[in-house]
Amino acid sequence: MAKPELYRHPTRSEIIELAVAEGHDADIPSNAGSIYQVLSRTTSPRSARRNHESEELSAAAIDKDVEKGTTPRSTSSDEEAVDSNEEDPNVVWWDGPDDPQNPMNWPNTKKWGAVCLVSAITFLTPLASSMFAPGVPQVMAAFGSTNDMLEQFMVSVYVLGFAFGPMIIAPLSEMYGRLPLYHSCNALFVIFSIAAAVASNMAQFVVFRFLMGCFGGAPLVLGGGTIADLISREQRGTAMVVWMMGPTIGPCVGPIIGGFLTVAKGWRWNFWFVAIVAGALMLASVVLMKETSVPVILERKAKRLRAETNNPNLRSKLASDLSPADLFKFSIIRPAKMLTRSTICLATSVYMAVMYAYLYILFTTFTAVFKTQYHWKGGIIGLSFMGIGLGSLAGQLTFTYFGNKIVNKHIARGDFQPEHRLYCMCVGGFCMPVGLFWYGWSVQETTHWIVPILGTGLIGFGLLMTFMPATTYLVDVFTVHAASAMAASTVLRSLFAALIPLSSSKMYQAMGYGWGNSLLGFVSLALIPIPFLFMRYGEGIRARSTVKL
């Protein structure tokens, strides 16, 4: 039996930060606890009454208006119940602040080794989304297809998997921990990468690509939570930057590797390469990675102590009473409600989805554009993706510096509002259409190849300067429900990125590269007012919100 140490309740900002990193809402226990402590499962009438009161309070929190940012007040009975939970000898917690079972107390080599391994896996799976793009013409020839729509869909169907896989992976990780999901998804990712490499027809290839995306999304869902489990807040920024390089830079680096590999070994070796690297990382994770989910670790400890002491009342301090149906509700129903009932969530998510779709329009057409307009051949075609990669990197660094500087200034003044996140988004909004006009007309007129590459660099810069502020804005607006808002945004942008590029070839055939990209630019121009409107009216929209979950 383990009597808990005195426990410092996490601050609201800590809970929000951990909930977002772990991909779930903060009323599901995280490694810092939950906003509403789960009470001891005793059979006394007094405990039963307290549990009932806590459930009523939690229900009120779930039904509250999520955009107003208000939180229900703790009642005296709730505070009494939490105190009772801290003093209850049946509650299992860490054996002191230096308990070696606590992932925060692991040796630095073990912690940072796990972070590096997760970051490597997170880099590989987005890289695989676009790596074989330069080899698409070879795939079409191998399967005897001339369907332009299939040519685009082969690349973007991977992203469609990102929309569906994580919705299942997230609740499963809550029930069984992170490690089983890492291992199982890594193994399935390797299996379907091999299956794509040996596919004998187009239908098989597309299905296997989709399943690669479904299981390849696991590190994107679980990686932030693993870092939050292991690294203190003071050092977490560095780890998160390394981890975020995967989804930001990976899709741009992939085609550069794939271009040369396709020429040297053929298109199938893009998938053999991914399978080999993923297999090596899977073996390393099996040997080196340990479970980091604190609720799961404590539940195992409680189970062991129940067997050793024959005390069935022992339970983890972070035990959750959520049923699988409740987890499904949090993962599926709540994001759908937020997307359909919140003006802020819908408008911001649509903006991000359109920008993300543009990225995959470029990914699916760069090979054809530079092959027909500039007569690039072989592995050199992969270098056409370099501009957008370098632009994305510049956008990420710029937002990190200026975004934090602006926010910190308003926090110091004491007048910070979520809308202060949007200054950088306004800049990025103008960069996107300028970059699209620049790229489209320079390709149309066949100017020197560096000119369209510079245009794509501006597109990459604008993409990150809109994407990153919009994401942090959703976190600040929806606070404890930020993970659901981000899940809604992720599903919408994945659907856009998978489906909109299907018509890009026909658009360019009908309108040319100049007017085709100008059409995309005009749409992005129409979206520019969104951050400005929220900066002006966002506070009022949140005050009048009627979004109930």
Instruction: Note the pLDDT of residue 490.
Output: 85
Report how far residue 299's alpha carbon sits from residue 29's, in angstroms, rounded to the nearest whole number.
12
pLDDT band, residue 202 (cuts 50/70/90): very high
Q: Percentage of residues in the chain with pLDDT exceeding 70? A: 84
pLDDT at 175 over 90: no
Per the domain annotation, does 491 fall within a domain?
A: yes
What predicted TM-score, i.e. pTM, was given to this entire model? 0.82
Asked if 129 and 47 sit in the same domain, the reply is: no
239: which residues sit within 8 A by CB, 6+ positions away? Answer: 112, 115, 119, 227, 230, 231
In the predicted structure, residue 77 carries a pLDDT above the cut 50? no
- Do 412 and 470 belong together in one domain? yes
User: Which of 300, 322, 344 is where one domain is finished?
Assistant: 322
Residue with tokens 């009216």: 537
Residues 232 and 375 in one domain: no
Cβ-based burial of 331 (10 A; exposed 0-12, middle 13-18, buried ≥19): buried
According to DSSP, residue 313 is labeled T
Residue 316 clears pLDDT 60, i.e. is over it:
yes
Whether residue 467 is found in the same domain as residue 531: yes
Q: Report how far residue 289's alpha carbon sits from residue 388's, in angstroms, rounded to the nearest whole number.
A: 34
Of 532, 464, 491, the C-alpha closest to 220 is: 491
- Is there a single domain that holds both residue 383 and residue 489? yes
Q: Are residues 535 and 430 in the same domain?
A: yes
Which tops the pLDDT comparison, 413 or 191? 191
Burial code (b: 16+ CB inside 10 Å, e: under 16) for 147-161 equals ebebbbbbbbbbbbb
C-alpha separations of 467 from 22, 53, 273 in Å = 19, 41, 30
Domain end residue (candidates: 257, 292, 322): 322
Count of Cβ atoms closer than 10 Å to residue 33 Cβ? 21
Q: Return the closest-CA partner of residue 528 out of 407, 433, 398, 418.
A: 433
**Are 164 and 64 in the same domain?**
no
Domain membership of residue 519 (yes or no) is yes
Residue 56 is predicted with a pLDDT of 43
| pLDDT of res. 467 | 87
Residue with tokens 């994770």: 285
Q: CA nearest 464: which of 254, 251, 234? A: 251
Structural domain contains residue 209: yes
- Rounded CA gap, 401 and 390, in Å? 17
* 21, 227 contact by CB (below 8 A): yes
Q: Which residue has the tokens 């320079």?
A: 442
Mind giving me the DSSP string for 345-403? HHHHHHHHHHHHHHHHHHHHHHHHHHHHHS---GGGGGGGGHHHHHHHHHHHHHIIIII
In a domain, 151, yes or no: yes
For residue range 501-533, list pLDDT tens digits in order.
Answer: 888 888 999 999 999 999 999 999 999 999 999
Would you say residue 256 has pLDDT above 70?
A: yes
Residue 33's pLDDT is what?
Answer: 55
Residues, the chain, total? 549
Please tell me whether residues 303 and 362 are part of one structural domain.
Answer: no
> In 134-237, where do the E strands start and end?
none
**Is residue 97 a contact partner of residue 5, using CB atoms and an 8 Å limit?**
yes
Q: Which helix (H) or strand (E) holds 316?
A: strand 315-316
Q: At which residue do the structure tokens 């607006």 appear? A: 477
Greatest mean pLDDT range, 10-14, 298-302, 314-318, 330-334: 298-302
In this prediction, residue 328 has a pLDDT band, given cuts at 50, 70 and 90, of: confident
Q: Is residue 214 in some structural domain? A: yes
Classify residue 215: in a domain, yes or no. yes
Q: Which domain holds residue 56?
A: 41-89
- Work out the mean pLDDT of the chain and round it to a whole number: 82
Q: What CATH number does residue 140 fall under?
A: 1.20.1250.20
User: Are residue 138 and residue 260 in the same domain, yes or no?
Assistant: yes
Question: Which sign, positive or negative, has the C-alpha torsion 524, 526, 527, 528?
Answer: positive
Max Cα–Cα distance, the chain, nearest Å? 80
Residue 347 has pLDDT above 90, yes or no: yes
Provide the pairing of β-strand 315-316 with 91-92.
parallel
Q: What are the pLDDT digits (tens) for 1-46?
A: 444 444 455 666 767 777 777 776 766 556 665 544 444 343 333 3
Q: Is residue 482 part of a domain?
A: yes
Q: Give per-residue pLDDT as tens, 126-142.
A: 899 889 888 888 999 99
* pLDDT above 60: residue 473: yes
Residue where a domain stops, chosen among 322, 347, 362:
322
Question: Which residue type occupies 437?
Answer: F
pLDDT at 355: 93
- What CA–CA distance (Å, rounded) separates 371 from 375? 4
Asked if residue 57 and residue 118 are part of one domain, the reply reads no
Alpha-carbon gap, residue 364 to 356, rounded angstroms: 13
Tell me phi and psi for residue 92, to 5 degrees.
-95, 125
Residue 30: strand, helix, or coil: strand
Residue 17 within a domain: no
- The residue that leads in pLDDT, 14 or 463, is 463
Mean pLDDT of 489-500: 89
In the prediction, which pLDDT does 314 show?
85
Query: Residue 233: what pLDDT?
Result: 72
- Angle among Cα 427, 242, 404 to the nearest 5 degrees reads 40
Instruction: Measure the N-to-C terminal CA separation of the chain; round to a whole number of Å.
Output: 39
CB 244 within 8 A of CB 123: no
Is residue 304 located within the same domain as residue 342?
no
Calculated CA dihedral for residues 394, 396, 397, 403, nearest 10 degrees:
130
> Which amino acid type is present at position 312?
P
Phi, psi (deg, nearest 5) at residue 30:
-115, -170
Question: How many domains is the chain partitioned into structurally?
Answer: 3
Verify that 281 and 137 share a domain, yes or no: yes
Q: Provide mean pLDDT across the span 64-81.
A: 47
Q: Which residues contact 115 (CB under 8 A, 6 or more apart)?
A: 226, 227, 230, 231, 239, 242, 243
